[in-house]
Structure 1
Amino acid sequence: MGLMLLIFNTGCTDFLSEKDPSNLTPDSFYTIPDHAEAALASVYADMRFFGGDGGIFSSTWQLLEAPTGTSTTETAQNSDLNNLYGLIYDGRTQHVINWWNGLYKVIAQANMVLDKVPAITPMDENQKKKILGEARFLRAWAYFYAVRLWGNIPLITLPQTATSEDFMPAPAPQEQVYELILEDLLVAENAGLTWMDPSGRASLAAVKSQLAKVYLTMAGHPLNKGNQYYQLAANKAQEVIDYANGNPSSIGLFPTYNDLHDETNGNRLEHLFMIQYNVIVAGNPMNNMFPNFKPVTFQGPSGTGSTVPTIEFYNSYEPGDKRAVNQEGFFYTSYYTNGSGEPFDLGAPYIFKHFNKAALGTFGVPGNRANNLNVPLIRYADVLLMYAEAQNELGGPNALAHESLKKIRDRAGLPTPGLGEFTINTFREAVWRERWHELCYEQITWFDMLRLRKVYNELTNGFDDFVGHTNLSSNQALREMHLLMPYPLPEMQNNPNLLPQNPGYP
């Protein structure tokens, strides 16, 4: 196993790692507490598969954006990416393969930590408990993505070798996967983690927020566990909200949307959990959102435009919504030549949500070329909306659910009807709309579509059934098969027990 060592740069809070050239084996390696810390660092490092190579002009994360219909592409060179947009992907699609390999690598590394660290002696018990809790959180994080993407999946909880009895495991039922996810998260919740961790390691806020998301998902499709799990989701989200209300300098919403993509704000306030990036190891991987060959950065006329907003989604924001204001919200329609020169019109809206002005440039200030911006995974805004949705399903909105929705809309500069003006149905769709408009391009929307079996219709401002909804990005309709991703063909070839393929795929 490759040993991963931590790097801490002065003034940098990212939890980072790089490979060590040693030939240590697991049996000879896990002997002192520093080994446990380094092994855990390798699990965090493996999360960066998220930004891996998806072929020419493409990244692994685009698997969760292209099928949503909220984005389109300005480049045609990548057939796999085009197939994602066209809803004709299959088990050969590189992004599907990358997600499977990436998630199971995180799981394998976490399993190694969980198997080997308990035997390290001497070791401070609190340190050991915390490391094991973080490893549990990361394993749950990976399995939660995997079970939502593929449904029934192999459930592996111990380190594997070619001689392992279950080296070629068959898929386990989704219910069983969710049982492990909840078990892991509940252990992590009691592992002595701090509420927020500026280094980027898992925090109590991240664990509780992830629990809320898992419960909310289990309440909906495909498990349909209903009110008991809506209540669990509401309770867990409220724990984070109550802490935030009592500790506003620790957790809360950033005052402005530009704060969301200011790298100095990583792992603080609204950012409850992020994938850590630093150019020493790996720079921010969202460059495929840059316009195609337009000079918005120090690199001049570059960029691929392989994930750009559809004009219909951009136009679906309410009049006056700050999130649609040029360079103030989540989009930009003009920028500065080579990042810092004269203003020019982009001719269309592009995604500004992951644009790092310090690295790429802003008016009169050239970029420093070091794009250390982290990728957000859990924001406090998401927690507020999860609470509002879950609580509403229990019989209608209460005051806290209304206040949670209102906080999102207040920041956007939008009015919110009074609590008494909502019904359970109108409040439900109001929260869903905010999820689409607030959490867009953060690899969340696709999972909302799956658990709700609903898709936002940009033209009607309402919601269609998932099956039959036409993505305006491709004019192709979502089908029943799209509720699951296909198992990767290479994995099926290597593991004959990974059968049958998910319905509808070759």
Structure 2
Amino acid sequence: MKKYIAMAGLLFLSFSCSDLLTEDPKASLTTEGFYKTASDLDLATTGLYNLIGLTFNQTAGFASTFGSDEMTSNRDGNKASWSDFDTFQATSSNNLLAFWWTNFYKTIKSCNVLLANYTEATDATETALNNAAGQAYYLRAMSYFFLTRVWGEIPLVTDASTNYTREKASVQDIYTQIISDLQQAETMLPDTWKNDSKRYQNGVNIAPTTGSAKALLANVYLTMAGWPLKQTDKYALAAAKAKEVIDNKATYGYSLVDINILWKKENNFSSETVYGIYYNTNIAEFVYPNTNMMILAYSPSDEGAWGDAYGELSFYKRFPSGARKDATYQMVYYPNNDPTKAIDYTETTYKHPYFQKYRDDDAFNPTNHVTSNWIGSHTVPVIRYAEVLLTYAEAKAMADGVDATAYDAINEVRTRAGLKNLTTGLSAEAFRDSVVVERGWEFAGCEPAARWFDLQRTETVAKANSNRDASETKLVGTPNDVTHAFYWAEIPIYDQLLDGTLVAQ
């Protein structure tokens, strides 16, 4: 078995904030003599959010999900790096490939250090100890969940040591660890952080809660029921765990919000966010991981933005008209930021619709579409309550057959989107397919609940790409839903070099 070491730094404690959002970073600390008090635990867990914030604050990591059928890019300049994933020709040398790999493993390493040392904080209460460990377990599980879906077999690191010959673990072993971590997080995290002004702000929980752990565990079980493990007994577990969240949504503070404000800056602190990555540009000193660069990433170059990616035409044309489509995509464009020359996407440089989801931010002027800064504070929701509902609907149907509760769950999302209720009387398989389609509409664009992961687990990557519009950049590689060609990305070249395998050649 080829061996790889996941590159990850020592404990990162360069904080983006004392309240997770507003304080300057002060130091980078070692662990020796550090874990003594509840305050030390607080600082250590806060440092974890600096790392996870860096992971989701730009499009680089999301590039590995571009093999889906709803996002594409052009091949001009640096955009070819994204296009390589979209056209199935990305290699281990792709400069975007290492972004998630490196940053998720950095998060894991710091979680490992905290979990190895938190019990030394003998001056802290049992609650403080549990809460600190719960956050680390949650973030470690989440990191491994993304890593194994992108790369499959990967190094499983649960200690703070550096080992350049660590063997890759099986996908099953990775998921076993994820489940164990989330089960720990369920019991150690609070239902709410209302008594912690750092982790509860503007009416929502900034840090993960029991509800966050249950929701993520439901997603994990749903994924395990599909490819590559195909453990269909996990459907029942996914449904049960999602139902726990739904039944206790008032306790956790979850609900769907009006689709018209879902992606507005005034909704950055939202009851729909089950777990999100929060950013804040209003700090005294610039802190890179504390800012979100999505504000320019999915906006058109015609308006002075970066235009890293935009919507695929076939998917866009199938997308049901209505409020959700209007909230998902930019509908009107101002070339050179001149509102007197309004056009639609067909007249833009690349003749594709751009995503609106992360654009409305403090630096964005809606009157002329000028973006005055390349950084923003837009929240990136890793899990939304809409995903909990759709996870329950699919898992319930596949575990026990379609019933009224499964229809209620998907219809709650459809009603919010302005659509009619789903056709009744569907078989379990037809109902599941309808939920997967619904997830496509709901999470289109660069959301962590990526369309790519749904196509992957349902073994429909090639099928979805067969609908590609003839005007799109041609596919170079050929995905295959039987052999699963191109389902997993190559491990970044620098990690392959570390064990001497390629050097020896």
**TM-score band w.r.t. shorter chain:** 0.7 to 0.9
Match 1:232 to one of 237, 245, 267? 237
- Cross-structure match for 1:287: 295
1:217-251 CA distance string (max 9 Å, x none) = 1111111110x21000000001111122x56x921
Match 2:308 to one of 298, 306, 309? 306
Match 1:181 to one of 166, 178, 181? 178
Question: Per the alignment, do residues 199 and 242 of structure 1 end up closer, same or farther by CA in structure 2, a change over 3 Å counting?
Answer: closer
Q: 2 CA distance for matches of 1:417 and 1:21?
A: 54
Give % identity: 26
- Cross-structure match for 1:204: 210
Matches within 5 A, 1:20-419: 20-21=26-27, 24-51=29-56, 59-74=59-74, 76-78=76-78, 79-161=80-162, 166-195=163-192, 197=200, 198-226=204-232, 228-244=233-249, 246=250, 250-256=253-259, 258-279=260-281, 280=283, 281=287, 282-295=290-303, 302-318=304-320, 320-325=321-326, 329-335=327-333, 342=340, 344-348=342-346, 349-363=353-367, 371-419=376-424
Superposed displacement of residue 372, structure 1: 1.1
Task: Return the letter of the residue paired with 1:187.
Answer: Q
Give the conservation status (yes or no) of the 8 Å contact 1:389–1:431: yes
Q: 1 CA distance for matches of 2:377 and 2:132?
A: 25
- Cross-structure match for 2:7: none
Q: 2 CA distance for matches of 1:5 and 1:413?
A: 42
Task: Return the letter of the residue paired with 1:284.
Answer: N
SS of 1:261's equivalent? coil
Question: Per the alignment, do residues 496 and 389 of structure 1 end up closer, same or farther by CA in structure 2, a change over 3 Å counting?
Answer: farther
Q: 1 CA distance for matches of 2:206 and 2:182?
A: 17
Question: Per the alignment, do residues 413 and 388 of structure 1 end up closer, same or farther by CA in structure 2, a change over 3 Å counting?
Answer: same
Q: 2 CA distance for matches of 1:8 and 1:263?
A: 23
For structure 2, the residue ranges without an aligned partner over 5 or more in a row are 1-10, 194-199, 347-352
Match 1:7 to one of 11, 14, 17? 17
Give the conservation status (yes or no) of the 8 Å contact 1:359–1:371: yes
SS of 2:181's equivalent? helix
SS of 2:261's equivalent? helix
Q: 2 CA distance for matches of 1:184 and 1:6?
A: 25
For structure 1, the residue ranges without an aligned partner over 5 or more in a row are 54-58, 296-301, 456-463, 500-505
CA RMSD of aligned residues (A): 2.9
Compare the two structures and name the one with the higher strand fraction.
1
SS of 2:359's equivalent? coil
Question: Per the alignment, do residues 6 and 99 of structure 1 end up closer, same or farther by CA in structure 2, a change over 3 Å counting?
Answer: closer
Q: 1 CA distance for matches of 2:91 and 2:372?
A: 40
Pairs aligned (count): 463
Superposed displacement of residue 148, structure 1: 1.3
Q: 2 CA distance for matches of 1:478 and 1:365?
A: 38
Question: Per the alignment, do residues 6 and 82 of structure 1 end up closer, same or farther by CA in structure 2, a change over 3 Å counting?
Answer: closer
Superposed displacement of residue 396, structure 1: 2.5
Superposed displacement of residue 290, structure 1: 3.9
Superposed displacement of residue 144, structure 1: 0.8
- Cross-structure match for 1:474: 473
Q: 1 CA distance for matches of 2:222 and 2:228?
A: 11
Higher RCO (C-alpha 8 Å, min separation 6): 2
Q: 2 CA distance for matches of 1:186 and 1:343?
A: 55
Superposed displacement of residue 18, structure 1: 4.9
Superposed displacement of residue 366, structure 1: 8.2
Give the TM-score of the pair, scaled to structure 2. 0.84
Higher mean C-alpha displacement, 403-412 vs 272-281:
272-281
Question: Per the alignment, do residues 378 and 417 of structure 1 end up closer, same or farther by CA in structure 2, a change over 3 Å counting?
Answer: closer
SS of 2:168's equivalent? coil
- Deviating runs (4+, > 3 A) in structure 1? 14-19, 287-292, 335-343, 363-370, 468-475, 496-499
